[in-house]
Amino acid sequence: MTDNSTHATGAWQSRYESDLVSTFATPPLLLDHGQGAWVWDSDGNKYLDFLGGIAVNSLGHAHPVLIEAVTRQISLAAHVSNLFASAPQLELAERLKRLTGAGDAGRVFFANSGTEANEAAFKLARLNRGANGEKTRIIALQNGFHGRTMGALALTGKAYMRDPFQPMIAGVEHIPATIEALEAAVDGTVAALFVEPLQGEAGVIELPEGFIARARELTAQHGALLIVDEVQTGAGRTGDWFGFQHEGITPDAITLAKGMAGGVPIGALVTFGAASALFHRGQHGTTFGGNPLATAAANAVLGEIEASGLVENARARGEQLKSIIAGFGSPLIAGTRGRGLLIGIALATPVAEALVAAARAQGLIINATGPDSIRLAPPLVIGDIELDEFRTRFGAALAEVAASAAAVTA
């Protein structure tokens, strides 16, 4: 039995530092429970959650649809391995083929996370060798993020993440996110191009206008796969089911995770057209991927997003949120980026960490993706009440940080 006295801030932080590998900073809060877009810490303090578990909690916390689905499924079977099929797995594969537009020719590989989905996509790219084995290069974008396992890390365009683990898997090149660089890089030696519709970990950075459309043209011309990382942008987050759908193109494959099951770990690779024939029996696998519990959760979450119009809600509420941010008229804010309910706030000065701390003191959870960038990824269920609370709490945090900055420069 856990001793409740260890919930005191100093005690639990000491336990965290002594018991967990130090790959994360010591957290500022011990969260206890949530409801909708709200969470409570172990001291009973209430917070408006505008990070959503980093774009994971699509339905917020403790949504009855997800509770019912998980409770029912775990009473039947949580896991059966991929030596056997399950009804939720089959249902989710069919659902993803329909929502993505992959159709009858599409295929789905289930994993447990975004990084695992991208590992599967990396292997898919390796199988696109060309008639004479000439396709040896994989192109990804500078500042892109695809995960931290070794294949996904090789794709990630952040040198500070890769450098401690060199040498990387060979064959990956990182180019600037410009159409000029794209046109110079893609030729008949390229097996695949990996892109995120929005570079979420870089600060919700948008690609140049027409970049993905041109990427589709070039990859099709040269027989390369266009693989779109939808780990953060999928499941309705950007105001369409998937980020690539804003561009009016069809990719060869996409990777999914995060918001698909509302907090239950899951990932997926969805292939389109001829790319669906690249994998053969025994070339990839997973023990937990696609188990009945995770796929039942994802079916419930995606079903609720569809039934309740939450894709459209993400689109509308995202525009309202941008308008609220612009309405502050704060000298700290240089602008906003992103689509739907994945929004980056560009700051005029490097005060992101101070702003996150001030917001937390006001009962608002947001995220700094860099010294001058804030990320917002609230649950897709937010409405007028949550937006009004955001206006109040974020406005107070902005005013506090602006006053501190003014005092320093006075």
Let me know: does 155 contact 201? Beta carbons within 8 Å: no
Name beta bridge partners: 137.
190
Residue 72 labeled ligand binder = no
Residue 386 labeled ligand binder = no
Residue 156 labeled ligand binder = no
Residue 9 labeled ligand binder = no
Residue 116 labeled ligand binder = no
Residue 73 labeled ligand binder = no
145 labelled catalytic? yes
Of 50, 145, 242, 244, the catalytic one is: 145
Nearest residue to 196 via CA among 232, 250, 151, 149: 232
Of 194, 211, 229, 390, the catalytic one is: 229
Residue 221 labeled ligand binder = no
| Burial class of residue 104 in the structure, from the number of CB atoms within 10 Å of its CB (0-12 exposed, 13-18 middle, 19+ buried) | exposed
Residue 231 labeled ligand binder = yes
135 labelled catalytic? no
φ and ψ of 94, to 5 deg? -65, -40
Q: CA torsion sign, 59 to 117 to 137 to 163? A: positive
Could you tell me how far CA 290 lies from the centroid of its own chain? 19
4-20: b (≥16 Cβ within 10 Å) or e: eeeeeeeebeeeeeeee
Residue 26 labeled ligand binder = no
Residue 108 labeled ligand binder = no
Of 258, 272, 322, 394, the catalytic one is: 258
Residues 6 or more apart whose CB falls under 8 angstroms from that of 183 comprise 214, 218
Feature table: binding site:
114-115, 145, 148, 229-232, 286-287
Active site residues: 145, 229, 258
Feature table: binding site for pyridoxal 5'-phosphate:
114-115, 145, 229-232, 287
Feature table: binding site for N(2)-acetyl-L-ornithine:
148, 286
